[in-house]
Amino acid sequence: MDTSDGTYVTYPYPRFQKRLEEASGGRIKIKTTFDMLPMTEVVYGVIDGRIDIGYQRVSYVAQTFPILDMASFPFLWENSHEYESFINDPVVDAAYTKAFNELGLVKLFFQPSGTQDCVFSKRSIAKVDDFKNLKIRSLGGMNTEVLQLLGGSPLMMPGPETVDALNRGTIDAVFTGRGYGLEVGLTDVAKYVAFWPLQSEFAQFFAMNKKKFDAMPADLQKIMLDVSKEMQGQTFVGANEYRFYTPIGLRASRINIVQPERAELDKAKKIVEPAMTKWLKTAGAQGQQLLDIANKYAGKSGVRF
């Protein structure tokens, strides 16, 4: 199993391995490797059989698998629980399972990383106009388009490189999650962090090569799927808890916290609508159906941005 890296606090790799071994009486054993393939190519390695199970960040392959990228929409999910409800919807689950199977994959589980709403920078980003010509690190396809629509100049780069890039002035700002910014040390080089919910979630999934899965005895197939379902629930709980505790870390870091006014957030939401329209064109016939289901769960928790 290739996992690209182990940076997320909620990462389930050791527990996933242990639970599979326990549930199967030692008949399923996984060897976990890191960085066997670039983070943008893991899923393709699973499809062609170079690896049996892989962990893929959805945003990095969203152009190839657009219907899987519902997590990345701006101003949609208010917390990971809402996205989890969407993922568990029977219609969505069936659509995603079918999409994975058609690619030669078996869907194991989705994993969130919590709300993606932080702009770490050396100057305050309190208004939409502050994004103009801002050299800012983005988080994949949808987020790149959103930042461009706001007037920014987004570029993608691995998370661990962002601290040095911001410190040197190679970029002006970093868009990422609250916890990740704390983890990698962005609070040490940024003067401000502004809350802009420009990407609701940064989803990841675990998938298995379908031929490898089909070759397993039926009882082991069931164990693989049952343990995967268990892992998905646990990672979502962890992400939700993490989301509520990370502001404490931000305050303790003494970084200047900027909360844009609601009028500015509403203005940004209107500006980025074309990104959603473009997604609908690329998502195919199921796009509108999935978006309608997403809107059934989004914003229903009472927890505001």
Q: Would you kindly state where each structural domain of the chain is located, as residue ranges?
A: 13-113+201-244, 116-200+249-273
CA-to-CA distance for 179 and 223, rounded, in angstroms? 32
Task: Given CATH 3.40.1030.10, say whether it is the number of domain 13-113+201-244.
Answer: no
CATH for 116-200+249-273? Answer: 3.40.190.170
pLDDT computed for residue 9 by the predictor: 43
pLDDT computed for residue 49 by the predictor: 93
Confidence of residue 178 (pLDDT cuts 50, 70, 90): confident
CA-to-CA distance for 275 and 111, rounded, in angstroms? 24
Q: What is the pTM of this model?
A: 0.86
3-state secondary structure 6-49: CCCCCCCHHHHHHHHHHHCCCCCCCCCECCCCCCCCHHHHHHCC
Nearest by Cα to 142 from 204, 58, 267: 58
Are domains 13-113+201-244 and 116-200+249-273 of this chain identical in fold?
Answer: yes
**Does the pLDDT at position 5 exceed 60?**
no
Summary mean pLDDT of the chain:
88
